[in-house]
């Protein structure tokens, strides 16, 4: 349960759609005309858009309830939000008015664990989602980067403690960041290793190619928190 918002929204308590491509992200709503504004969600009580879609009694928490927003080129909209439900403040992820993940709910790919924290996410034009998150599982293996290709269809891209492909003896750490392109290719970063040195920045999908690990792996005690950016196909 969240006791306070982890970060402040820059949306002035409202997420609005100002251009017509947002139509694909507003289920059961009509797109506004170009140049017009339409409220999608608000932290302000008294508006129907303050109610969380699909969860009766849940509202967007005022004072930081609308956090990260991701919009794909064709208008898929994802929002990471803090919601108020039955006296609790919970982390949640909504995409196209659908609550995809909610703190305290079992993880679809690991039902004995529940969602603890959403670290980052991204969406693409087809509505596929990439998410980096933490669960209530064991501390040695409770960080994930996952992808939802269709509602309810999940793939674990990386899990803390699991081997890194093509690097024998090297394991994933905590996942940070999440990107997804329109080919459903996922990029993420992770840290917490004493044997990795970052060589490149965040994933760049333009060049194509097979699975890549964009770093050199070597022993170093000087920088135990060095990040390792990866690209998966």
Which whole-number Å values give the CA distances from 207 to 54, 203, 204, in the listed order?
40, 10, 7
Query: Which domain, by its residues, includes 90?
Result: 1-103
> To 5 degrees, how large is the angle CA 228–CA 229–CA 230?
115
Residue with tokens 């501390």: 139
Closest to 145 (Cα-Cα) out of 62, 228, 69: 228
Q: Do residue 8 and residue 72 come from a single domain?
A: yes
Q: Look at 2 and 196; give whichever has higher pLDDT.
A: 2
Least Cα distance to 15 among 73, 87, 94 occurs for: 94
For residue 30, the model assigns a pLDDT of 39
The last residue of one of the domains, among 79, 103, 127, is 103
Q: Are residues 99 and 133 in the same domain?
A: no
**CA 157 – CA 132 distance, rounded (Å):** 10
Mean per-residue pLDDT for 42-59? 94
210 and 145 within one domain: yes
103, 126, 142: which is the final residue of a domain?
103
pLDDT value, residue 82 = 95
pLDDT score of 219: 33
Dump pLDDT digits (tens) for 69-109. Answer: 999 999 999 999 999 999 999 999 999 999 999 999 999 99
56 with 170, same domain: the answer is no
Q: CB neighbours of 233 closer than 8 A, spacing ≥ 6?
A: 183, 185, 209, 210, 211
d(CA 43, CA 84): 10
Task: Say whether both 138 and 221 belong to one domain.
Answer: yes
Residues 73 and 14 in one domain: yes
The pLDDT-based confidence of 10 (bands split at 50, 70, 90) is very low
Same-domain status, 14 and 77: yes
CA distances from 57 to 118, 142, 145, 176, 198 (A): 22, 30, 30, 32, 45
pLDDT (mean) for 26-50: 72
State both tokens at 185: 């290719």
Same domain membership, residue 112 and residue 71: no
Return the bridge partners of 212, or none.
Answer: 231
Residue in 141, 120, 142 with CA at minimum distance from that of residue 189: 120
Whether 92 and 149 share a structural domain: no
Q: How many CB atoms lie within 10 A of CB 164?
A: 20
Number of domains in the chain: 2
Torsional sign, CA 3, 49, 98, 7: negative
């Amino acid at each position: 349960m969240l006791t306070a918002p982890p970060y402040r929204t820059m949306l002035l308590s409202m997420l609005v759609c100002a251009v017509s491509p947002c139509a694909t992200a507003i289920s059961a709503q009509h797109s506004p005309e170009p140049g017009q504004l339409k409220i999608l969600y608000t932290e302000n009580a008294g508006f129907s858009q303050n109610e969380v879609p699909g969860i009766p009694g849940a509202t967007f928490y005022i004072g930081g309830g609308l956090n990260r927003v991701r919009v794909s080129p064709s208008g898929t909209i994802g929002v990471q939000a803090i919601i108020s439900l039955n006296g609790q403040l919970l982390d949640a992820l909504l995409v196209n008015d659908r609550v995809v993940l909610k703190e305290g709910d079992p993880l679809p790919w690991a039902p004995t664990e529940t969602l603890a924290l959403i670290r980052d996410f991204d969406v693409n034009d087809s509505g596929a989602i990439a998410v980096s998150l933490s669960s209530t599982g064991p501390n040695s293996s409770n960080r994930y980067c996952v992808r939802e290709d269709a509602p309810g269809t999940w793939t674990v891209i990386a899990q803390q403690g699991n081997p890194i492909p093509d690097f024998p003896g090297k394991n994933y750490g905590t996942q940070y960041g999440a990107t997804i392109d329109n080919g459903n290719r996922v990029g993420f970063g992770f840290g917490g290793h004493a044997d990795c040195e970052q060589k490149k920045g965040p994933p760049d999908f333009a060049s194509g190619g097979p699975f890549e690990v964009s770093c050199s792996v070597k022993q170093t005690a000087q920088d135990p928190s060095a990040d390792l950016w990866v690209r998966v196909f």
